[in-house]
Amino acid sequence: GNSVTQMEGPVTLSEEAFLTINCTYTATGYPSLFWYVQYPGEGLQLLLKATKADDKGSNKGFEATYRKETTSFHLEKGSVQVSDSAVYFCALLWGNTPLVFGKGTRLSVIA
Amino acid sequence: EAQVTQNPRYLITVTGKKLTVTCSQNMNHEYMSWYRQDPGLGLRQIYYSMNVEVTDKGDVPEGYKVSRKEKRNFPLILESPSPNQTSLYFCASSLGLSGAPYEQYFGPGTRLTVT
């Protein structure tokens, strides 16, 4: 079946450091890919998405490129801030089946 | 404001005492879903509903019931809660599954403790 694997956390970075959170997927077709973010005490909210190969999703300084050849959708940010501390979830959507989430990666950014 | 609301936000109960967690959305969404979030396990889907009167099991449906009598509401029912259902629960909704693809909107979560 469809699945998402993302890097284990927690990830701890200093402010202004470069962030990469790896995400790879397994799917029978060509899914749409998402990154959701969960700030402390809140529900998940969509951060960015990409619907086809080579698409780049971007929002709030975060970027992720849909790579079909490596079945990946890694999340990157050039300079993280303390306010980026959250749990990040990679997810895929294919056909008429429910969204499949990775297990989440907790990011802590220290000043 | 477009939103998904859940009530209660926090609940402590005892084993076997039936409870209902309500979920309501004001976006006229067809698709609604319940998840539980546990440390190390991420989000796991409990049940989902593609439309009124249509519900399906997710990955971890045991011990839960749902109903979808109206488009806006999707309550989660625990007929006889047990301690292993202690978790953080999220309701979510979207216009649909396939097509756009559609963003899922999440509620703020309900933290349930069963003693």
B5-20 pLDDT per residue, tens: 999 999 999 999 999 9
Express as a percent the part of chain B with pLDDT over 70: 96
| Numbered residues of chain B with Cβ closer than 8 Å to any chain A Cβ | 4, 33, 40-43, 45, 48, 58, 90, 92, 97-98, 101, 103-109
Whether B97 and A97 lie within 8 Å, measured CB to CB = yes
Q: Is the pLDDT of residue B57 over 70?
A: yes
More confident position, A9 or A68:
A68
Asked if B8 contacts B111 with a C-beta cutoff of 8 angstroms, the reply is: no
Which of B7, B23, B43 is the best mutation test for A, with the most CBs of A within 10 A?
Answer: B43
Nearest chain A residue (CA) to B10: A41
Beta pairing partners, B55: B49
Q: Is the pLDDT of residue B1 over 90?
A: no
Token couple for B91: 């309701």
Q: What are phi and psi of B82, to 5 degrees?
A: -130, 160
Report DSSP letters for A41-104, one per residue.
TS-EEEEEEE-STT-EEEETTEEEE-BTTTTB--EEESS--GGG-EEEEEEEE-TTSPPEE---
Token couple for B48: 């989902």
Q: Is the pLDDT of residue A84 over 70?
A: yes
- For residue B3, the model assigns a pLDDT of 93
Per the document, the length of chain B is 115
Q: Is the pLDDT of residue B95 over 90?
A: no
Nearest to B21 by CA among B73, B96, B95, B94: B73
